[in-house]
Amino acid sequence: MGDEPVNVKEYQILAKQALPKMYYDYFAGGSEDQHTLRENVAAFQRITLRPRILVDVSKIDMSTTILGYKTSAPIMIAPTGMHKLAHPEGEVLTAKAAAACDVIMGLSFMPTCTIEEVASSCNAIRFFQLYVFKRREISALMVKRAEANGFKAILLTVDTPKVGRREADIKNKMIAPQLKNFDMSTEVDDSGGSKLEAFAARSFDPSLSWKDIAWLKSITKLPVLLKGVLTREDAVKAIEVGVEGIIVSNHGARQLDYVPATINALEEVVLAVQGRVPVLFDGGIRRGTDVFKALALGAQAVMVGRPVVFGLTTKGEYGARRVIEMLKDELELTMALSGCPTLSDITRNHVRMQSDNRHCRM
Ligand SMILES: Cc1cc2nc3c(=O)[nH]c(=O)nc-3n(C[C@H](O)[C@H](O)[C@H](O)COP(=O)(O)O)c2cc1C
Ligand SMILES: CC(C)CC(=O)C(=O)O
């Protein structure tokens, strides 16, 4: 492989060479048998494209708005924790990459730079991901700080009442670095396993439930999106409790193993939502064709997790930027070769899933 990666998967290979094993395993790994981790990527590979020909594709427009905010493409940076384990400058560089690509960044509740450092580093449009701690005042204060620092939405992660069993982290005795973003020690008794998991077990509130959405909405004016919806039942409930958006996600296969690949859960949620709120998507996006497939199945935009972290690991801001640029370039080419000059030209008829019947859908 030459030095300069030509696709985002090559950044993962370079990151593996560059990172200590404990950190690489934390970033790359999934839970238990890692069945869903493999499926998140493999399920995309089972979806084929149905391109249309002889369409004028001399101009391709990938730009769109997400919650009313303009973005150059329907691609966002997913919130992922602790970027200083990947690069000494951490989330500040990730934000700068988002700004350079004119895409929206999701900032994790567990970053290694503070909310204020990220906000003052550049003018990227940012959404803030929220975990609810047993000490609710800590989470409430984070929401206030995000709001005060110009974040535009709250992504409430709802698939993590407890941390999934990540066996590599257990073996490696994954550390729980002190996070200066919040005033709470991450120190834990030596559990012998993953200290990160032990910290989360001590601090995350597993009693969080539907009634708490009203509490969250009462403490912020920002739109609230639920991150981690996988079923039609929960999509309908989410709309009933008044959320402003839904993110179909299985947390990059790091939580409950044997849930479906997110691309296989997307359409069920989209059909239940019936366009009432935006549906975003993450999990397994490694190619522009993956972005195209998620859009064809009804996602308004996708978020990208690990590839951005691996770009950041390998080449800092430039690497994170190149990952987004490569996905954008590949999406643009996919749209051209599929006969879709704009995002609204991409329809369900442009993809075939194995579960579709054999007839032409047109
Ligand atoms: C290393 C890592 C850390 C993550 N940290 C968080 C987090 O702090 N909060 C959260 O809601 N999701 C977190 N996620 C999940 C991502 O937001 C996203 O759902 C997932 O990475 C998408 O899958 P992908 O990595 O295949 O793109 C994390 C994922 C990874 C890989
Ligand atoms: C402490 C962890 C739960 C952070 C996270 O969301 C992740 O690593 O997936």
Is the separation of the CB atoms in 69 and 103 below 8 Å? no
The torsion angles phi and psi of 189, rounded to 5 degrees, stand at: -60, 145
Does 165 belong to an annotated binding site?
A: no
* Confidence (pLDDT) at 190: 72
Distances (CA, A) of 179 to 84, 283, 349: 10, 26, 46
Parse the chain into domains and list their residue ranges. Answer: 8-163+209-351
Q: Do the beta carbons of residue 27 and residue 310 sit within 8 Å?
A: yes
Find out whether 72 is annotated in a ligand binding site: no
Q: What is the pLDDT of residue 2?
A: 56
Q: Tell me, what's the pLDDT at 357?
A: 74
* Contact (CB, 8 A) for 247 and 303: yes
Catalytic positions are: 251
CA distance 355 to 131: 35
Residues with CB under 6 A from ligand 1: 26-27, 40, 78-81, 108-110, 129, 157, 227, 249, 251-252, 254, 282-285, 304-306, 309
Q: Cα–Cα distance between 35 and 158 in angstroms, integer?
A: 21
Length of the chain: 362
CA of 241 to the centre of ligand 2 (A): 25
Low-confidence ranges of the chain (pLDDT < 50): 1, 362
User: Is 262 annotated as ligand-binding?
Assistant: no
DSSP 3-state percent helix, strand, coil across the chain (nearest 5)? 45, 15, 45
Residue found under tokens 């060479």: 17
Give the pLDDT score at 180: 85
Provide the CATH number for the domain formed by 8-163+209-351 in this structure. Answer: 3.20.20.70
Helix (H, G, I), strand (E, B) or coil at 344: helix
Question: What residues does ligand 2 touch, defined as CB less than 6 Å away?
Answer: 81, 110, 160, 163, 196, 200, 251, 254
